[in-house]
Amino acid sequence: MKKRGLWLVVLMLALALVAVGCGSADKGKQAATQEPTKQTEKNTWEQIKEKGVMVVGLDNTFAPMGFEKDGKLQGFDIDMGEEMAKRLGIKIQWQPTQWDGVIPALLSKRFDVVISGMTITDERKKQIDFSIPYVADGQVMAVKKGTTGFNTAADLKGKVVGTQENSSGEEAVNKIEGIKEKKLYKTYPEAFADLQIGRIPVVVVDRVTAEYYLAERPGAFEVVGEQLTQEPFGIGIRKTDPELKAAIDKVLTDMQKDGTLTKISMKWFKKDITTKAQ
């Protein structure tokens, strides 16, 4: 009986050792299968380089920054973006989107960045990050040729003022007290169409856009009075993508230093409105 009991003890110990060994092996297998997962987690910039494509959101009605003409996408931002992509060793896939939903679309990863004459504002910086500034812009008052009475922001009081929805123009209008009505449009072309037929007396708009419409329709519109704001343009980037921001900032700085941005500016504005490398 003693020998039988001893054998039972030995057998139980052996089984216990086998169970422990199997448990350790299972844990090892789990660790082995989990480790590659960690290794394959890549940030947005790494994913872009791997695919060779960066998806870029834009408002394709925002002339002269990015707009369609004769079935072709063109503008300052298009030229700048394509040159950036060339230097980064990738291609760009342009993704037109409604401007009033551009930030939610960026945050939901419908595209990687926004290159669309996007004004850097404190309100937007609460949600997203920006590249270094590349264009110096600001809000102005555009009216039909020959219209008088608009010299300062105070002259907008008691007036119907048109601007684009969710634009920096709307932010500027929101800060002016006493406006009779803020009329919002999906696009600036719609606002200028109403301005031309007299439905609204004034449009608050980015200077670059206003000057483009002045050049496109000589004698139809004019910019009057003081510039309402000073606003730089930047590329919109998610806060969770610092590696992508660093890559974009570097190539933008190089383009500032070697005169490429100035050359693109002269093509579209006949003058240099770009910011300079710090």
Q: Mean pLDDT per 10-residue run, the chain (278 residues)?
A: 45 47 48 52 96 97 93 96 98 95 97 96 95 95 96 97 94 95 95 96 94 88 94 96 98 98 93 89
In a domain? residue 32 = no
CA distance linking residue 207 with residue 141, whole number of Å: 8
Answer whether residue 35 is part of any domain. no
Q: What is the DSSP letter of 198?
A: T
Using the 3D structure, point to which of 224, 240, 260 is the last residue of a domain: 224
Alpha helix positions (H), 122-218: 122-125, 168-174, 188-197, 207-216
**Looking at the chain, how many residues does it have?**
278
Which of 187, 207, 224 finishes a domain? Answer: 224
* Judgement on whether residues 240 and 215 belong to the same structural domain of the protein: no
- Does some domain include residue 212? yes
Please report the pLDDT score of residue 12 as a whole number: 53
Tell me how far apart the alpha carbons of residues 207 and 278 are, in angstroms, rounded to a whole number: 24
120 and 186 in a single domain? The answer is no
Residue 167 sits in the same domain as residue 96: no
The amino acid occupying position 128 is: I
Whether residue 78 sits in one domain with residue 187: no
Q: How many domains does the chain divide into?
A: 2
- Apex CA 109: angle with CA 63 and CA 78, to 5°? 25
pLDDT value for 39:
59
Instruction: Find the domain containing 167 and state its range.
Output: 139-224
Structural domain contains residue 236: yes
- In this prediction, residue 29 carries a pLDDT of 47
Kindly give the residue spans of alpha helices, DSSP state H, lying in 60-187.
76-88, 102-107, 122-125, 168-174
DSSP collapsed to 3 states, 203-247? EEEEHHHHHHHHHHCCCCEEEECCCCCCEEEEEEECCCCHHHHHH
User: 274 in a domain, yes or no?
Assistant: no
**CATH label of the domain that carries residue 239:** 3.40.190.10
On whether both 117 and 153 belong to a single domain, the answer is: no
* Interatomic CA distance for residues 132 and 250, integer angstroms: 9
**51 and 114 co-located in one domain:** yes
**What strands, in cross-sheet order, belong to the sheet with 61-62?**
61-62, 66-69, 72-74
H or E segment and range at residue 136: strand 135-137
Quote the radius of gyration of the chain (alpha carbons, Å).
29
Q: Is residue 93 part of a domain?
A: yes
Measured between alpha carbons, how far is 206 from 169 in angstroms, rounded to an integer? 7
Query: Are 123 and 163 in a shared domain?
Result: no
**DSSP collapsed to 3 states, 16-32:** HHHHHHHHHHHHHHHHH
